[in-house]
Amino acid sequence: MSGGVDSSVAAHLLLEQGHEVIGVFMRHGQASPVACAVDEPQAGRLAATLPVVNRLDHKQGCCTASDAEDARRVADRLAIPFYALNLDAEFTRIIDYFVDEYAAGRTPNPCVQCNNWIKFGKLFDYADSVDAEFVATGHYARMATAANGEATLLRGRDDSKDQSYVLFGIKQRFLSRMLLPVGDYEKSEIRRLAAGVGLNVATKKDSQEICFVTQGHYHEFIKDRQARRGDLVAGETSGGEFVLTSGEVVGQHDGIEGFTIGQRKGLGIAFGDRKFVVRIEPETRRVVLGDREELGRSELTAKDCNWLIDPTMLPARGLAQIRYNATPAWAEFDLDADGRLHVQFDEPRYGVAPGQAVVCYDGERVLGGGWIE
């Protein structure tokens, strides 16, 4: 329970279905106001319950003290137990991944890794410690059973809110223990349900930020984190040149960590026509700019794949999605001997970014995917 409307209504729906529901809030302890002091679980018990606290921040995230307050009030309204889990160590792993990827000129997706490592990873350990059968979230995706009896992951009913993309990395063995109760609803229906049962989060805005970047821009957060870790010596910079695809130098930037493939806004350079980031070169610290046509890519290769099906049953064709908010596109799939996924698109895709995930679909079913090289 993040304190948002989706996970709050998910808990309500599970109660209506007859489940015994336990609400869990994830504390990461990174720079946001501390909601309470909790200990690691001992003797098979979850950590101490989280007290209601005063709103101390205005961040629109999902793990702040104010979010904890909202989640606790929802749990009180639903009359379910509510626990805070201290996951600082696990979030530190995610933050280091985020920083390292940007520093390497790649575009990370910490929300996917949070699902892989924590929401549908670490939380299963806590579920086991209290003999809980399922782990549920408020993601807009659906669970179903295939003809052969296997649990399958499907797109959410609300196309505008579908979150199946960020769940591709979940281990196949966990599918049978996942519940996604809001996936069969439109977002507007979820808000009406919340209002109808008197949940105070019915009109709360959706989280739109990375939960541990509590203020400022990504590059400021990354530089601060690198300084704290001792990655940068005094006076060292990750700045470099803006260059066009022709090789012409057109300006200077403060650091490659401030850019991602496909970016157009925030470049700080005026051109007669629109320019996009088409390539980032960490070795030379150059950010390469070009026209939209130069951004197009007809193929990609992905590594570290995770499959929710037997990978030998991967179809030769299907739909591939290159970002959370991207439209799935028809493509051909092929796995090489090393397990890398090769995707050949029917039409060029714009914004293919190393570090992001490519997810394969057969219709509505999530087959799996990998991390774009």
**Is residue 64 situated within a structural domain?**
yes
pLDDT tens, residue by residue, 153-199: 999 999 999 999 999 999 999 999 999 999 999 999 999 999 999 99
Average pLDDT, stretch 274-286? 94
Average pLDDT, stretch 245-259? 93
**Is residue 67 situated within a structural domain?**
yes
Number of independent structural domains in the chain: 2
**Is residue 304 situated within a structural domain?**
no
If asked whether residues 16 and 73 sit together in one domain, one would say: yes
pTM of the model: 0.87
**What are the structure tokens assigned to 217, written together?**
């821009």
Question: What was the pLDDT predicted at 172?
Answer: 95
CATH code at 80?
A: 3.40.50.620
If asked whether residues 247 and 185 sit together in one domain, one would say: no
Three-state secondary structure call for residue 96: helix
How confident is the prediction for the chain on average, in pLDDT? 87
If asked whether residues 134 and 21 sit together in one domain, one would say: yes
**Is residue 316 situated within a structural domain?**
no
Domain containing 256 equals: 237-290
User: What residues pair up with 334 in beta bridges, in sequence order?
Assistant: 342
If asked whether residues 186 and 50 sit together in one domain, one would say: yes
Choose one of 290, 325, 354: the last residue of a domain.
290
**What are the structure tokens assigned to 186, written together?**
């439109």
Q: Which band of pLDDT confidence, cut at 50, 70 and 90, is reported for residue 44?
A: very low
Average pLDDT, stretch 255-276? 90
**Is residue 149 situated within a structural domain?**
no
Nearest Cα neighbor of 98 from 231, 225, 263 is 225
**Is residue 247 situated within a structural domain?**
yes
Run of H or E residues at 188: helix 187-196
Which residues form the catalytic set?
A: 114, 211
If asked whether residues 120 and 248 sit together in one domain, one would say: no
Choose one of 290, 305, 320: the last residue of a domain.
290
pLDDT tens, residue by residue, 205-246: 887 667 777 665 788 888 888 888 888 665 567 789 999 999
* Cα–Cα distance measured from residue 320 to residue 369, given in angstroms and rounded to the nearest whole number: 9
**Is residue 32 situated within a structural domain?**
yes
**What are the structure tokens assigned to 49, written together?**
């319950």
If asked whether residues 130 and 266 sit together in one domain, one would say: no
DSSP state of 175: G
CATH code at 254?
A: 2.30.30.280
